[in-house]
């Protein structure tokens, strides 16, 4: 049984564009941030956020953050995700939460597209599930606590085991995450997550995340000789209005 990616925006800095604009403007203002909060209009905010992003003055972007609930992903994905260290994570524990009969495995599309490959994959998953269940059964029969049994039994679970994680990133790290993980060379599962998150934050803070995503959307590919040769087009990922924007 395969799970599907689900991303929920849990919470975010109220008016992220404004928070970033105020922080950036304060460096050059003779007044307080509270004064700027009252005085800066929407046009001022949009103009300053775009300037901060274009000029590379990204420290101000760290004052806006977004938290996501991510469900229906594999441990293979979260192993990659937590490499983005300028972020906060809380993941469902395999030590305290039993991997039961109703829990899922993530099946790669390339595997599910081939019936023979899928059969091999699912057989391996069922062997892993059976081994896990049997180890838990044997451990409990010895009188051990469920926690101690599960923390050892989880060693037989594969990277495909479905998991859940809460992720909080500031806007600066989100832009970095999108640049790397929206790229065609990123692994398919984390790439799907990155594009989903990007779509959410672009609606939330359009000025702050304008120009976010892989380099091929806005110019040359940063991968050099490792380029995939299949650049994204802005009109394909952001709609017809993005063409020539």
Q: What is the CA radius of gyration of the chain?
A: 22
The two tokens of residue 241 are 């209005």
185 is catalytic: no
Q: Which of 18, 181, 191, 198 is catalytic?
A: 181
Does the CA dihedral 80-207-39-14 come out positive or negative?
Answer: negative
Burial of residue 54, with CB atoms counted within 10 A of its CB: 0-12 exposed, 13-18 middle, 19 or more buried = exposed
Element (H, E) at 167: strand 162-170
Question: Are the C-beta atoms of 7 and 192 separated by less than 8 Å?
Answer: no
What is the Cα–Cα distance from 173 to 63, expressed in whole angstroms? 11
Q: Where are the strands (E) in 106-215, listed by range?
A: 162-170
Residues with catalytic function = 181
């Amino acid at each position: 049984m395969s799970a599907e990616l689900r991303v929920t925006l849990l919470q975010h800095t109220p008016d992220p564009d404004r928070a970033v604009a105020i922080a950036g403007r304060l460096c050059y203002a003779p007044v307080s941030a509270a004064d700027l909060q009252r005085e800066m209009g929407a046009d001022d905010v949009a103009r300053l956020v775009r300037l901060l992003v274009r000029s590379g003055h990204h420290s101000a972007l760290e004052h806006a953050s977004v938290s996501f609930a991510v469900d229906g992903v594999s441990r293979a994905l979260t192993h990659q995700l937590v490499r983005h260290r300028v972020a906060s994570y809380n993941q469902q524990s395999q030590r305290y939460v039993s991997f039961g009969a109703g829990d899922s495995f993530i099946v790669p599309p390339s595997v599910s597209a081939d019936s023979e490959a899928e059969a091999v994959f699912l057989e391996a998953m069922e062997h892993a599930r059976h081994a896990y269940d049997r180890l838990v059964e044997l451990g409990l029969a010895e009188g051990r606590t469920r926690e101690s049994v599960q923390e050892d039994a989880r060693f037989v679970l594969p990277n495909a085991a479905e998991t859940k994680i809460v992720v909080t990133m500031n806007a600066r790290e989100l832009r970095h995450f999108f640049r790397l993980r929206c790229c065609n060379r990123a692994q398919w599962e984390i790439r799907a997550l990155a594009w989903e998150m990007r779509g959410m934050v672009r609606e939330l803070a359009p000025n702050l995340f304008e120009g976010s995503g892989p380099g091929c959307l806005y110019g040359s590919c940063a991968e050099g000789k490792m380029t995939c040769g299949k650049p994204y087009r802005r009109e394909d990922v952001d709609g017809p209005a993005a063409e020539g924007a």
